Structure 1
Amino acid sequence: MTTWAIGDLHGCHDDLCRLFDRIALDPTRDRVWFVGDLVNRGPDSLACLRAVRDLGDTAVCVLGNHDLHLLARAAGARTPRSKDRFDEILDAPDRAELLDWLRHRPLMHHDPDLGYTLVHAGLHRDWDLDTALGVAAEVETILRADDYERLFDYMYGDEPEQWSPDLTGEARIRCAVNIFTRMRYCRPDGSLDLGPTGPPGTQPEGLLPWFELPGRANADLRILFGHWSTLGYYRSRGAYALDSGCLWGGRLTALALEREPRAVQVECEGAMVPVG
């Protein structure tokens, strides 16, 4: 049995199928972890969503910012963005079942036996494992409630930039969602700057990748994450970045987690063209 962790799909279903062939995935034996952002911008988000859902207990998938945006769009809380490609899902006959499955995905998964933690973007500097799991559970409880649509009335926005255990209400949940699904760079005090998206070395002075902040309470964890396509497949200080830019004509990465981590990649044609 092998557990594979796979980077952001963004609707690139053909590339996922080729990666499954490359790793010779056996759903009766293997397990697959997805870092989120199954959907949006790529050519076949509906097929990706169905494929991961249909893996059943073989798959673990955490929520990414684009997955949450799909749920917000479906709830009528957001107007379409120019790059959104959700219509095939929103018009699908199994729309309700797919969206219900999606909103019951976690924001964070930890496997103590394997010794890996799975999130979409990262963990705040001040969160140890128990704190992070507790904060994730707060958001998950809202998403799984009958009135979950209320989350999307206040989920969007960049404030507050700094997490504090004293945060309450909407500000607390919005900050938590930003950390789990949007974070890349932080200031040395742990506050977020959600603007820069380029690789390390291109950010404004005074910002650090979240996983390079000194004094991280979760530095003992091996954290698998995606979200940062310009970073590519990257390993540093117990952080494993898996978004290798499939959407942009890069690669789709699968990392075997048993024993010494081993990466397998397929080249991707790319549904979008990088700017610049």
Structure 2
Amino acid sequence: MAIYFVGDIQGCYSELKALLTQVAFSRQNDQLYVAGDLVARGPNSLETLRFIKSLGKSAKVVLGNHDLHLLAVYYGIKKVKKQDKLSALLSAPDLTSLMTWLIQQPLIQKLPDEETYMSHAGLSPQWTPNQALLQAEIAQQHLRSSEAKHWLSQMYGEQPIDWQNADDDISRFRFTINSLTRMRYCYADGSLDFSCKESPSNAPKTLSPWFEFRHINENTQWVFGHWAALMGCCQPKNIYALDTGCVWGQHLTILRWHDKKLFTEQSHKKLR
């Protein structure tokens, strides 16, 4: 059995299928870990969701910020954005089935029997992996409950940016969602910034990428997406950035875990 990690698909279904063909992925024997943002901005979000769902236990998904926003649209909390190209998905006859499946997906995946984790945006410098797992599980329980609409409506906003100031259930939930699905940069004390999306070379000196805080020990691996400006480059050898901007005309990336080999598929944008 081979384990593969794939970066942000964002509706780039043809690139995903070509990449899985390239690595000879077998749904019977292999596992595909998807680093969030399955949907939005690309042309085929509906086909992407249907395919990943059809993989059953062979697919291990985490929710990204675009996936959560889609759920908020489905529940009537937010309006759909034209640039997200979700009209086919939102009018699909199996929409309810797809959304029921999507909201059941976790915020963190951990590989069995090893200290390897995956979340969409990373790990807050103010948390250990175990703290993140605990808070992710609490947030997942909220999203999977009969009060899902209430909790989805509470995830919007940028406060608190500091875990020490998350002093009630709603603020802890929002900090968890923001840390695991939106975070890129942090201030020196590990608190969150949401204004900067640039590459580290262009970022203000008051900010550092979350992975430069060295809060993940060398025996632990963390896989994430979300940050296309990195183009797969981050310094720590035990942290793997997989968003390589396919939806923006760059490429989709898969990491084969046992030998850490990368495979890419150039965006098909020019072919459409």
Partners of 2:134 and 2:244 lie apart in 1 by 29
* Aligned partners of 2:8 and 2:225 also within 8 Å: yes
Aligned to 2:163: 163
Supply the RMSD in Å over aligned alpha carbons.
1.5
Which residue of structure 1 lines up, in the alignment, with residue 12 of structure 2? 12
2:146 counterpart SS class? coil
Map of 2:57 onto structure 1: 57
User: 2: CA distance between counterparts of 1:217 and 1:115?
Assistant: 10
Deviations along 1:175-219, whole A, 9 cap, x unmatched?
1100000000001100111111111111112100000015x1566
CA contact (8 A) 1:127 1:218 kept: no
Residue-by-residue CA offset, 1:32-65 (whole Å, 9 max, x unaligned): 0000100011101000000100000101000000
Q: Identify the residue that residue 152 of structure 1 maps to in structure 2.
A: 152
1:70 aligns with 2:70: yes
Q: Judge conservation of contact 2:166–2:175 (CA < 8 Å) in 1.
A: no
Comparing 115-124 and 64-73, the one that deviates more:
115-124
Moved over 4 A (4+): 217-220
Supply the AA of the counterpart residue of 1:37: D
**Which has a greater percent of helix?**
2
Supply the distance in 1 between the matched residues of 2:165 and 2:219 (Cα, whole angstroms). Answer: 21
SS at match of 1:247: helix
1: CA distance between counterparts of 2:112 and 2:106? 16
Q: CA deviation at 1:220?
A: 4.2
Instruction: Tell whether the 8 Å contact from 1:245 to 1:252 is kept in structure 2 after alignment.
Output: yes
> Given residue 14 of structure 2, which amino acid in structure 1 is its aligned partner?
D
Contact 2:42–2:84 (CA<8 Å) still a contact in 1?
A: no
Query: How far has the Cα of 1:129 moved from its partner?
Result: 2.1
Say which is worse superposed, 182-191 or 105-114, in terms of deviation.
Answer: 105-114
The question of 1:211 aligning with 2:211 is answered yes
Amino acid at match of 1:143: L
Distance in 2 between the 1:149 and 1:85 partners? 23
Relative to the length of structure 2, the TM-score reads 0.95
Aligned match of 2:229: 230
Q: Partner of 1:240: helix, strand, or coil? A: strand
Number of residue equivalences = 269
SS at 1:40 equivalent: coil
SS in 2 for 1:17: helix
The amino acid across from 1:269 in the alignment is: H
Counterpart for residue 187 of structure 2? 187
Query: What is the Cα deviation at residue 239 of structure 1?
Result: 1.1
C-alpha distance in 2 between matches for 1:93 and 1:112: 36
* 1:196 correspondence with 2:196: yes
Task: Look up the SS of the partner of 1:236 in the other structure.
Answer: coil
Task: Indicate if the aligned counterparts of 2:126 and 2:191 stay in contact, CA closer than 8 A.
Answer: no
Partner Cα separation in structure 1 for residue 27 and residue 62 of structure 2: 19
Q: State the identity as a percent.
A: 37
Q: Tell me the amino acid that sits aligned with residue 73 of structure 1.
A: V
> Deviations along 1:113-167, whole A, 9 cap, x unmatched?
2442010001111222221110000110011012211012221111111112852
Contact 2:18 2:265 in 1 (8 A): yes
Q: Secondary structure at the match of 1:5?
A: strand
Amino acid aligned to 1:186: C
C-alpha displacement of 1:82: 3.8
Supply the distance in 2 between the matched residues of 1:103 and 1:120 (Cα, whole angstroms).
15
CA distance in 2, matches of 1:161, 1:70: 24
TM-score (normalizing by structure 1): 0.93
Task: Determine the C-alpha separation between the residues in 2 that align with 1:112 and 1:29.
Answer: 16
**Partners of 2:217 and 2:139 in 1: CA distance:** 20
Question: In structure 2, do the counterparts of structure 1 residues 270 and 196 end up closer, same or farther at CA, with 3 Å as the change threshold?
Answer: farther
User: In structure 2, the residue corresponding to 1:266 is in which secondary structure?
Assistant: strand
Query: What 5-or-longer segments of structure 2 have no aligned partner?
Result: none
